[in-house]
């Protein structure tokens, strides 16, 4: 169990970033991975030119990599100023404009998992007003995702690195998941369980896994401290992934860690090559 029973994919927005975007799918495939995920690649363009979308689609297809997860527009990532859907004005408008574009792009590649990052608290705007806007926009996204048989993911970040984000615990993220499902009646909102963020929040990861795996549709990992590859910190990620498997999780686990000082291709020594390709 552990690594041997886990389906891994690589996040091309944090790994292989030493390469241009269109070269990353081939680099991931050369490292042995056949499944990838992405943050929204165009941080200043929620609705990019069709030629840019087509070029990325071609790069993914030509490399033989399957897109299994995609973030909706959320501004500049990584960093503390992230998220758009609960920010009144231009940012939330960008999010709503992005949703149909991202869903169609994902659909064209067989991707049905879409991550919607909550926005930071904004000065001068009541929290209740932001939360109402967030629920409205999340319901909008859930309905769009439902049209392609997809899942809307809600992720908890961590308070030390994102102090202005209100979703910084597993229970809070689950609260949002339940609210979206109640608002739409679609039951297609699920938890994105990022073990790095949850560990940074000081949560009991065993308890989170045991309690929330039934509502989890995607997992992401990085070691803590440092957000590096497994084995660079103190988390027993093999045991945690084995616990997830025992709890019934059989979805994708995204590698969302920093590669260190060297090229990203050298950041996978912890994972034997036969375990990198997608398995059914």
Structural domains in the chain?
A: 2-275 (3.20.20.150)
Mean pLDDT check: name the lowest of 20-34, 72-86, 149-163.
72-86
Task: State the pLDDT at residue 225.
Answer: 98
Quick: pLDDT tens for 102-123.
999 999 999 999 999 999 999 9
Q: Are 168 and 202 in contact (CB under 8 A)?
A: no
For the chain, strand residue ranges (E) read: 7-11, 35-38, 66-71, 113-115, 151-155, 189-194, 216-221, 252-255
Residue from 36, 103, 51 nearest 72 by CA: 103
pLDDT tops 80 at residue 2: no
Q: What are the C-alpha distances in Å from 88 to residues 99, 129, 159? A: 16, 9, 22
- Rounded CA-CA distance 52/13 in Å is 16
Mean pLDDT check: name the lowest of 80-94, 172-186, 199-213, 244-258.
80-94
Q: Which residues pair with residue 192 across a beta bridge?
A: 155, 218
Task: State the pLDDT at residue 82.
Answer: 78
- Rounded CA-CA distance 92/73 in Å is 10
192 dihedral zone (left: phi>0; alpha: psi -120 to 50; beta) = beta
Q: Are 68 and 113 in contact (CB under 8 A)?
A: yes
Task: State the pLDDT at residue 77.
Answer: 79
Task: State the pLDDT at residue 40.
Answer: 97
Catalytic residues: 155, 256
Task: State the pLDDT at residue 48.
Answer: 98
Q: Which residues pair with residue 6 across a beta bridge?
A: none
Task: State the pLDDT at residue 81.
Answer: 67
Which residues touch 136 (CB under 8 Å, ≥6 apart)? none
Task: State the pLDDT at residue 92.
Answer: 96
Task: State the pLDDT at residue 173.
Answer: 98
Residue from 23, 28, 5, 30 nearest 255 by CA: 28
Half-sphere exposure of 19 (CA within 13 A, CB side): 17
pLDDT tops 90 at residue 68: yes
Confidence of residue 157 (pLDDT cuts 50, 70, 90): very high
User: What share of the chain in percent tops pLDDT 70?
Assistant: 98
Task: State the pLDDT at residue 280.
Answer: 54
Confidence of residue 54 (pLDDT cuts 50, 70, 90): very high
Confidence of residue 76 (pLDDT cuts 50, 70, 90): confident
Task: State the pLDDT at residue 230.
Answer: 97
Q: In angstroms, how far apart are the furthest CA atoms of the chain?
A: 53
Mean pLDDT score of the chain? 96
Task: State the pLDDT at residue 145.
Answer: 98
Compute how many other C-beta atoms are within 10 angstroms of the C-beta atom of residue 22: 16
Quick: pLDDT tens for 190-244.
999 999 999 999 999 999 999 999 999 999 999 999 999 999 999 999 999 999 9
What average pLDDT does range 249-261 have in this prediction? 97
pLDDT tops 70 at residue 9: yes
């Amino acid at each position: 169990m552990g690594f041997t029973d886990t389906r891994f994919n690589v996040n091309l927005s944090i790994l292989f970033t030493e390469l241009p975007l269109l070269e990353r799918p081939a680099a991931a495939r050369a490292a042995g991975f056949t499944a990838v995920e992405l943050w929204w690649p165009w941080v200043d363009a929620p609705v990019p030119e069709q030629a840019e979308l087509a070029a990325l689609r071609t790069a993914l297809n030509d490399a033989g990599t399957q897109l299994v997860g995609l973030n909706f527009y959320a501004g500049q990532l990584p960093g503390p100023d992230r998220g758009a859907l609960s920010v009144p004005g231009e940012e939330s408008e960008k999010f709503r404009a992005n949703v149909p574009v991202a869903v169609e792009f994902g659909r064209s590649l067989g991707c049905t998992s879409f991550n919607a990052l909550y926005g930071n608290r904004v000065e001068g705007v009541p929290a209740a007003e932001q939360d109402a806007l967030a629920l409205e926009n999340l319901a909008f996204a859930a309905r769009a995702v439902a049209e392609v048989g997809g899942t809307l993911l809600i992720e908890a970040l961590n308070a030390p690195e994102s102090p202005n984000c209100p979703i910084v615990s597993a229970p809070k993220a689950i609260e949002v998941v339940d609210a979206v499902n109640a608002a739409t009646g679609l039951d297609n909102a699920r938890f994105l369980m990022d073990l790095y963020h949850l560990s940074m929040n000081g949560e009991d990861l065993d308890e989170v896994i045991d309690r929330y795996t039934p509502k989890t549709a995607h997992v992401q990992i990085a070691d803590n401290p440092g957000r590096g590859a497994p084995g660079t910190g103190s988390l027993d990620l093999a045991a945690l992934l084995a616990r997830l498997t025992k709890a019934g999780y059989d979805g994708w686990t995204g590698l969302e860690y920093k590669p260190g000082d060297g090229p990203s291709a050298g950041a996978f020594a912890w994972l034997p090559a036969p375990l990198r390709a997608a398995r059914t």
